[in-house]
Amino acid sequence: MNSASAELVNLEEFRSTRGADNVPDTAQITVREIINVLPAQRGEEVTFTKFYPLGETPASRIAEPIKLLRESVERIEQALELLRENDAIGCDDCIQQVIALLPELFAWGQSIGDGFNAVVLGTFQCLKNVGGPLSERQLLELRSGLRKLVTAPYIDFEVALGIQEAYEGVGLEPDSKEVGKLSEFIEQAEGFR
């Protein structure tokens, strides 16, 4: 059985023992680039855009939804600022702008995945179902849910359900009220059988 193994060596030590003191600068640059690829080891956050830069190709299907998500997050952040300044009308205006962006995000989500669309639809229903002004905790949770999509748009459906549960945890309703009415109607109809 053939087995290959590689030994890790110090670059300076290798140069001195092999007589390779005149290593071209390109090799040194390559080594620096390899080291710089590991931001997690330095405690930095590794984001989706680090590995998949957006906007570089016009055919990128993810660039536009990410742009819309970022705009939605910015509007929620503005709503938070206005809420803290006791400007209920300005806060509501920002939320109305988010509501206007979500159907387009849902349409883009058809090519991204079920997890993405579950969060977008849940966020939309939360905003449509709210019976009054949103609290700061609710706005923070909505922002958190959309931020997760910005950094990881291809999330699993189970993760999306976790985000919806977090919405419910702050008193939001991520399910359509019409679906609830339909369920009640079906249950009543089954009672007549």
pTM given for the model: 0.64
Residue bearing the bigger pLDDT, 30 or 54? 54
Reported confidence tier of residue 61, pLDDT bands at 50, 70, 90 = confident
Cα 100 to Cα 69, 97, 106, 171, 182, distances in angstroms:
12, 5, 11, 22, 26
CATH number of 63-180: 1.20.120
Q: Which residues contact 156 (CB under 8 A, 6 or more apart)?
A: 115
Taking the CA atoms of residue 142, residue 147, residue 150 and residue 151 in that order, the dihedral angle to the nearest 10 degrees is: -140
pLDDT at site 143: 96
Residue bearing the bigger pLDDT, 193 or 102? 102
134-190 residue pLDDT tens: 999 999 999 999 999 999 999 999 999 999 999 999 999 988 776 666 666 666 666
- Side chain identity, residue 87: D
Of the spans 35-44, 47-56, 102-111, which averages the highest pLDDT?
A: 102-111
Domain residue ranges of the chain, discontinuous segments joined by +? 11-37, 63-180
What is the C-alpha to C-alpha distance for residues 110 and 23, in angstroms, rounded to an integer? Answer: 51
92-122 residue pLDDT tens: 999 999 999 999 999 988 889 899 999 999 9
Q: Is the pLDDT of residue 21 over 80?
A: no
